[in-house]
Chains A and B, each alone.
Chain A
Amino acid sequence: RKEVEQDPGPFNVPEGATVAFNCTYSNSASQSFFWYRQDCRKEPKLLMSVYSSGNEDGRFTAQLNRASQYISLLIRDSKLSDSATYLCVVNSGGGADGLTFGKGTHLIIQP
């Protein structure tokens, strides 16, 4: 089983809709969780951290479910500019800081 799993999509969503996707992780000892955004042929950029109590930043809400070992990202009132790949990142141990990146979920917002 992969350490971090995401549905690769693509998710095709009309502009203005609400979209949510999950990411599951295998290491129950993981302590830190993040969502990164990566535009086509660009570098990943930190979108938001995921705290145990949940985290909201404008139209974006991230939540953590430790019992089921998944994190979620919800985007409300989606904009065309939200089209990107969203990477789930988990601190799972291993080399360096032990960050493991998921393959990402590809989101396409359609006009």
Chain B
Amino acid sequence: EADIYQTPRYLVIGTGKKITLECSQTMGHDKMYWYQQDPGMELHLIHYSYGVNSTEKGDLSSESTVSRIRTEHFPLTLESARPSHTSQYLCASSVGLFYTFGSGTRLTVV
């Protein structure tokens, strides 16, 4: 049973559309993260949060933005999707260095 949920699981959307990828966790973790992973490649950290109202950019530059208004919710938004945003987006939360990942959103921008 998943304790961290991502929706949608798959999303195909046209260029220029605004999208929000949802991530929620029920574990009460303060730390949450967004990673981007292309097929066969490593995960890259794009955003993280240490708690409510805390957001930071990760190691990989991204045009997306995030918000953390509630502990359990960490949505990622792309204001204007482009084909270069096509990728898998994985949300995670952690206690210490032990991470739990959501099942991911596979985004395709056409």
Contact = CB atoms under 8 A, between A and B. Distances in A.
B59 interface: yes
A96 B97 contact: no
Interface residues of A, number: 21
> DSSP majority for the A interface?
loop
Interface in B75-104: 90, 94, 97-104
B49 to A, nearest CB: 9
Nearest to A43: B101
Interface stretch (A60-68, A76-84, A99-107): A99-107
A8 B40 contact: yes
B43 interface: yes
Interface of A: 4, 8, 32, 34, 41-46, 87, 91, 94-97, 99, 101-104
